[in-house]
Amino acid sequence: MTETLLQPAKTCELHIHMGGGVFAEDLLDLAREHYEYIDWSLYIDQFEQAYGQRPDPVALFRDALEHGQLDALKEHYVYGDRDRGDFAQFQAKFNMAICVYRHWWSALGDQDEIWRRVIAHHRREGLRYVEYRSMAPYDHTQADAFVQFHQRTARVIHESNTPDFEARYLISLPRWAPLECYHLVQRLLDENEGLVPTIVGLDFCHFEEGYPPAGTRAFFQRLRCDNELRPGRALDVAYHVGEVYFDKSLESAVRWCHEAAELGAIRLGHCTALGLDPAAAVARRPQAHELELVDERVAQIRYDLRYRNDLERCGVAIDARALERELDNLADWPRDEPIHRAYAPERLADVRRRQDLVLNRLSELGVVIETCPTSNLRIGAVPDPQAHPIHRFLASDVRLAIGADDPGIFDCTLADEIEWVQRHAGLDPAALHNRLGDPRHYRCGQHRT
């Protein structure tokens, strides 16, 4: 009985990247006939830079195939608990898969087989509904390649649907060219009507630093118009935000989450900035979050003036005159100059109130936070399980979905993630089920008419 209660959460995956979904055994299988011919230079060089030792992938694959032993291969691919916290190390290990993908794409002209194996693994694992997302290795400057990559990926996903397994696709738009690439997605849908039921949304992922949500305003406006015009193929937006944000103040990181929701995203990925305690956040590095660009500070002041009443209701004191004076002073500063503001206990307390304000606002809007415990601990700079933002999220009213993010490279399943939450939140299955509900209620594309 207790097992079945959490089945909806354990079988519906809303936050997963195709590229990070390949498990070591599938990678071994994909490289079986090819490992001696694959160009491993990207993996070898970056692994050496990140870990200080030069790996020999050919020997790793040969040994794994000859002895049926995955341990050494996994040690060089899986980004585990011991690696924690360094994105360069994560990328270095991930590059092993990227070298295999590139070989399949370039030398063999086939990306479909990789995705088929990713999906087959998740089906075997017991997943029943999955929304895959993927970033193309191209943007609008290689328009045909961009369209073709997503068309092929969507087709494999489309063909994987069976009565007991549903898969959908969210196309990841590069943060530096959302509108341009969105037009290409529309072209893809025009040319492939049969893929419309599969392509249900759009996603923003990868490095967020340097790409404020405000930069996607024109894209969201256009999307809203198109969705109204053609509700039968309306696209929803999932948006990674507040995941890694050392380039700015805690206030700005909270604001980014708020802005992404107000712009129209229906689900937000991670939002660590809304749930990690500010005192823990600033203790992560010397002078963490004390510097940000003048541009961000100006945007924050404007936000504080705009939301003054809401902030004051939450107990954040807003000195409008002082903020307007600061705005005047900053008018002559170069916008890309760093500005320093240290933290005092009262400022940290205010950040907590701002987090509450935005969590409440997300609840009002019905926006979902997708939280990925293992990913946040290993690459999201969450210091330990007790500090994980999920505790704040669970205590709030915000809609919440749990995802595995890159399960292949983390070597964990969605069920592991749900059990992690149960264990660390101290909730029995019934209580956790009551809090989470069925994540299928949060799927993209469900309001199409």
Binding site for Zn ion (CB under 5 A): 405
Minimum gap (Å) between residue 390 Cβ and Zn ion: 15
Shortest spacing between CB 158 and Zn ion, in angstroms = 22
Question: Do residues 255 and 295 lie in contact, with contact meaning Cβ atoms separated by under 8 Å?
Answer: no
Structure tokens at 132: 């895959």
Cα–chain-centroid distance for residue 59?
33
Which residue's CB comes closest to Zn ion?
A: 405
Q: CB 173: neighbour CB atoms within 10 A?
A: 27
By beta-carbon proximity to Zn ion, the closer residue of 20 and 55 is: 20
Cβ 163 to Zn ion shortest distance, Å: 29
Measured from the CB atom, the residue of 134 and 300 that comes closer to Zn ion is 134
**Residue 304 or 405 with smaller CB distance to Zn ion:** 405
Q: How far is the CB of 20 from Zn ion (least distance, A)?
A: 8
Q: Which is nearer to Zn ion, 40 or 393 (CB)?
A: 393
Nearer to Zn ion (CB atom), residue 73 or residue 368: 368
CB 104 within 8 A of CB 29: no
Torsional class of 410: left (φ above 0), alpha (ψ -120 to 50), beta (otherwise): alpha
DSSP one-letter string for 418-430: HHHHHHHHT--HH
Nearest to Zn ion of 208, 405 (CB atom) = 405
Amino acid present at 120? A
Residue with tokens 């092993």: 96
Residue located via tokens 């749990």? 402
In which residue are the tokens 């210091």 written?
Answer: 383
Q: How far is the CB of 387 from Zn ion (least distance, A)?
A: 20
Shortest distance, CB of residue 372 to Zn ion, whole angstroms?
A: 6
Residue 441, both tokens: 């209620």
Q: What is the DSSP letter of 386?
A: G
Q: Please, which residue, 251 or 405, has the CB nearer to Zn ion?
A: 405
**DSSP-assigned letter for residue 367:** P
CA distances from 436 to 7, 13, 131, 418, 426 (A): 11, 13, 18, 10, 14
Query: Minimum distance from CB of 212 to Zn ion (Å)?
Result: 19
The single-letter DSSP state of residue 403 is -
